[in-house]
Amino acid sequence: MAKMDKIKDVAGKGKGFVEEFKAFVLKGNVMDMAVGVIIGTAFASIVTALTDDFINPLINGIGGAEVAGQIKIYGGQYLNWGHFVTSIINFLIMAFVLFIMLKFVNGLLALGKKKEEEKEEAKKSAELEVLEQILAEVKKK
């Protein structure tokens, strides 16, 4: 009998785990994160195309240097310094865009908090007026 109770306990815990996992996956945060990763990947390819197709040719045309350069080292191997520079440019563009987006979102959040604070202050002032009226009545008596 004791073994059956243990088996039922283990089986019940498994169902709880599955339910907990399902609740976790279906939460908005996980889904939002998945959408963010997909959009981030797509945006990274856009930034790479911008760098490869527009910025690098402009640098090549203005400076006369080829950004897709290589340095030959021993054994027929090459150091692709141009690819490294392109990756740095991609990173800087992505970091700048993320900075601007976060600055915008933080501004919106701050605006929302200010409105909530104003509502709370208005509510407090109404409550304060009622308390002051009660205090005045108590002082009269």
Mean pLDDT within 62-76 = 70
Q: Where does the pLDDT of residue 67 fall: very low under 50, low under 70, confident under 90, or very high at 90 and above?
A: low
Residue 19 confidence (pLDDT): 80
Judged against a pLDDT cut of 60, whether residue 10 lies above it is answered with no
Of all residues in the chain, the percent with pLDDT exceeding 70 is 78
CA angle 108, 112, 115 (to 5 degrees): 140
Residue 13 confidence (pLDDT): 60
Q: Where does the pLDDT of residue 12 fall: very low under 50, low under 70, confident under 90, or very high at 90 and above?
A: low
Alpha-carbon distance 63 to 11, whole Å?
A: 70
Q: Which one has a higher pLDDT value, 43 or 115?
A: 43
Alpha-carbon distance 82 to 51, whole Å?
A: 12
Judged against a pLDDT cut of 80, whether residue 27 lies above it is answered with no
Judged against a pLDDT cut of 60, whether residue 136 lies above it is answered with yes
DSSP string of 68-91?
A: T--EE-GGG-EE-HHHHHHHHHHH
C-beta of residue 85 within 8 angstroms of C-beta of residue 65: no
Tokens 């993320």 belong to residue: 98
Alpha-carbon distance 120 to 82, whole Å?
A: 57
Which sign, positive or negative, has the C-alpha torsion 114, 119, 123, 128?
A: positive
- For the stretch 75-126, pLDDT in tens is 788 777 777 877 888 888 888 888 888 888 888 888 877 777 777 766 667 7
Mean pLDDT within 66-71 = 67
Mean pLDDT within 43-58 = 82
Q: In which element (H, E) is residue 121 found?
A: helix 81-140
Count of beta carbons in the 10 Å neighbourhood of residue 72: 9
